[in-house]
């Protein structure tokens, strides 16, 4: 009977797996920014070519999609998830203040 052994080093190293996951998240943000810029640039060019004297309608896409893009960047780069430093900080706060009244 054969036993299956994983040849993926990420399976045995949780730090490597976490690093790979973070790199994938960062690549996702980069792709999102690129698509955002290209799509909105295309809309601005279409607006400029056909209706430059009318309301700047690409504004709605730029603002709406931009809000979503900001949240995506925030989720990836501004500390999504818990890390040991945050956990230790919260534990210290709880120890200083005493039992919680949750």
Per-residue pLDDT tens over the stretch 4-20: 555 565 567 888 988 89
Residue 92 backbone phi and psi in degrees, to 5: -65, -40
Q: Which residues of 23-49 are buried (b: 16+ CB within 10 A; e: fewer)?
A: eeeeeebeebeeebeeebeebbeebee
Is 80 exceeded by the pLDDT of residue 80? no
Token representation of residue 37: 């810029």
Q: What is the pLDDT of residue 92?
A: 83
Query: Rounded to whole angstroms, how far apart are CA atoms 75 and 78?
Result: 6
Q: What is the pLDDT of residues 23-63, one digit of tens each?
A: 999 999 999 999 999 999 999 999 999 999 999 999 999 99
The span from the CA of 68 to the CA of 33, in Å, is 11
């Amino acid at each position: 009977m054969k036993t299956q052994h994983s040849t993926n080093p990420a399976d045995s190293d949780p730090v490597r797996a976490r690093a790979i996951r973070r790199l994938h998240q960062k690549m996702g943000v980069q792709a999102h920014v690129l698509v955002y810029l290209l799509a909105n640039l295309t809309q601005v060019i279409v607006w400029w070519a056909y209706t430059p004297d009318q309301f700047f309608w690409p504004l709605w896409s730029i603002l709406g999609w931009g809000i979503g893009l900001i949240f995506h960047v925030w989720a990836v780069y501004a500390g999504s998830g818990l890390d040991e430093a945050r956990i230790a900080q919260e534990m210290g706060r709880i120890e200083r203040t005493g039992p919680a009244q949750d």
